[in-house]
Chains A and B, each alone.
Chain A
């Protein structure tokens, strides 16, 4: 691993030797094991790894929702141990407020900050427009599709203008076509705002399509296996998925990932057969 692949000048976010263990005594599971990487200003970084590798734990630590960990996640000189105003989180699960309209959902963080109503509506409107839902401002989430609801969540996080956009598999529940098109939207927004973004995902296509760099994680304990720079031209669209270069990156990262994914699979299979033997 070359040094220049993992370190940037004046990074927006630094993950420095982070360790997170769960449980005590003989039952300790190390979810995140001495992970270090950083995200530069305006950069799009993905963390990819098989299910159960500790990605979501890392997401919660960086988001400040898990404060009890070793090492440091730093923004500037500040170590994160509670939700930080510079980090905006987008969750994997359906997270819109069903009792609020689209515009009131998006205006939520501004409401918490005490921004006045007309300014709140203006700013919410701007970001709703950006995610392409301008004609649905007065709709309730139940009237929208899953992909549209996820766009509402993204707009709600963007409206607070976080320095770092932190997303945990925001498209996991969506079908492949919607996922590719939403990926385009994300790329477009990221380029428009020069938005520093950290995406947690298990989807290889998505990671290569969107990222400047990809952090490949090992399966249990979660370590940094490799950091790959994606030198595909920008501005990028989902058309890039068909290109040769794209295929090379996917093949290269899959090479690393396959080993980890099969360890994960073997693990869950042996756990299942233990359960079957007991039951």
Chain B
């Protein structure tokens, strides 16, 4: 690694190829260490299964219809949660950002409630919406809402005030102001908010599923865990990591385009 660092310093910017080589090396080192620990027998039986067994489980998992049904449920819950959270979050963010009075009145609620862990509300959501997808959607929407409302309100304050005066001088309605000035001027902060909101929505939905549910990837993880199927558990975790990473990369790509 030190050698790679020196090389890139000497040649100015590091070449794309060097970066990729280093990334692959890191992955190889992690896999190697994993395999070594697994074979050393330091841990009790199945806790660190060998890579080949995880791989076999992964292949089995990807060929299993149950996985896709659960994936569908989690995706559905996350997408609906994000849509509700984004709709309400953007509307409230614009309302708070456009109106100083509202902002001052509601600031404490939004700022001090947003960092509290939403999962403590899960029992309430279960009582209100039942054990099915609705309670996970409600909780996911709530957590996405705060992230999106806050970044939208911050985005509103960054809009060049003269653009708002231009809109007013042409007698734009609130709806036209929102559609043609606020939203395009805030593309970047809103996409960043969506990215954060998506992240917390995924986390909360999965967390809710692991607590109390009868379907979804979180439920599946707990099923595999109670069966003590460690290779299956790791395979499932890898898939969830990759999916979350891909979604994040996708939104990040749009955010960069908008900048």
Contacts and interface: CB of A to CB of B under 8 A. Distances in A.
B52 to A, nearest CB: 52
Contact of A95 (B163, B176, B187): B163
Given A97-B184, A99-B184, A112 B163 contact: no
A112 B166 contact: no
A91 interface: yes
Contacts of B184: 97, 99-100
Nearest to B187: A99
B165 A91 contact: yes
Contact of A94 (B162, B172, B180): B162
Interface in B180-197: 180-181, 184-185, 187
Interface string A68-103: 000000000000001101011101011101011000
Given A95-B162, A97-B163, A99-B187, A89 B169 contact: yes
A63 interface: yes
Interface string B181-219: 100110100000000000000000000000000000000
Contacts, number: 45
B170 A109 contact: yes
A63 B176 contact: no
B118 interface: no
Interface in A126-177: 160
B170 A108 contact: yes
B214 to A, nearest CB: 46
B197 to A, nearest CB: 22
B163 A65 contact: no
B39 interface: no
Contact of B172 (A93, A97, A99, A112): A112
A65 B165 contact: yes
B168 A65 contact: yes
A111 interface: yes
A85 B171 contact: yes
B165 A99 contact: no
Contacts of B169: 63-65, 83, 87-89
Question: What bracket does the count of chain B residues touching chain A fall in?
Answer: 10 to 19
Contacts of B180: 108, 111-112
Nearest to A166: B169
Most chain A beta carbons < 10 A, residue from B162, B170, B180, B181 = B170
Contacts of B168: 65, 83
Interface string A114-132: 0000000000000000000
Interface in B131-180: 160, 162-163, 165-166, 168-172, 176, 180
B170 A83 contact: yes
A263 to B, nearest CB: 29
Contacts of A95: 162-163, 165-166
A87 B165 CA distance: 14
Contacts of A89: 165-166, 169
B171 A83 contact: yes
Contacts of A91: 162, 165-166
Contacts of B172: 112
Contact of B176 (A85, A99, A112): A112
Contacts of B163: 95, 97
A58 to B, nearest CB: 15
Nearest to A94: B162
Nearest to B176: A112
A144 to B, nearest CB: 17
Contacts of A93: 160, 162
A89 B166 CA distance: 8
Interface in A10-32: none
Contacts of A83: 168-171
Given A99-B187, A108-B180, A112-B180, A160 B170 contact: yes
Contacts of B166: 89, 91, 95
A82 B171 CA distance: 9
A112 B185 CA distance: 17
A61 to B, nearest CB: 13
Interface in A185-226: none
A91 B170 CA distance: 12
8 contacts: A82-B171, A89-B165, A89-B169, A93-B160, A99-B187, A111-B180, A112-B171, A112-B176
Given A93-B160, A97-B185, 16 more contacts: A64-B169, A83-B170, A85-B171, A87-B169, A88-B169, A89-B169, A91-B162, A94-B160, A94-B162, A95-B162, A95-B166, A99-B187, A108-B180, A112-B170, A112-B176, A112-B180
Interface of A: 63-65, 82-83, 85, 87-89, 91, 93-95, 97, 99-100, 108-109, 111-112, 160
Q: Which 4 pairs show the lowest CB-CB distances between chains A and B?
A: A93-B162, A89-B169, A109-B170, A95-B162
